[in-house]
Amino acid sequence: MDVVCKWCLESWDMYEAHDIAKATSQTYQQVMASFTKIGCAAFSEGMESIVATEKNCVDTDAEPDQGIQAIYELLGNDMDGAASLIEDFGAIGMLDV
């Protein structure tokens, strides 16, 4: 299943976070918590030095996608549930993913 960056709408295989957690001595939950806050930047190398703030994953003035942000906020650390909702809502046209 894929999770989607709320800033740029890039899809990521959520299991990628396991590899990143291992490489950066973090837990899967820490990596995914950072992803839901800062987006794609959480999956870049050197992730342990990134402070989890509401920072855009790219250098633009873009606003986060409100639908994806709401899913992440409502489901907290249930990333399987978030990935399922994003996929379902995308399939019926409620999200532009």
Q: What is the pLDDT of residues 2-61, one digit of tens each?
A: 999 998 888 888 888 898 888 888 899 998 998 998 888 788 755 544 444 455 566 556
Domain extent listing, the chain: 2-91
Tokens representing residue 46 in the block = 């050197």
pLDDT at 52: 47
pLDDT at 60: 58
DSSP string for 45-92: TTGGG---SS--SSSS-PPPPHHHHHHHHHHTT-HHHHHHHHHHHHHT
Query: Which pLDDT tens digit goes with each residue over 64-90?
Result: 899 999 999 999 889 999 999 999 998
pLDDT value of residue 89: 92
* pTM for the model: 0.79
> Can you tell me the distance from the alpha carbon of 4 to that of 17, in angstroms, rounded to the nearest whole number?
13
* Residue 12 bridge partners (DSSP): 3
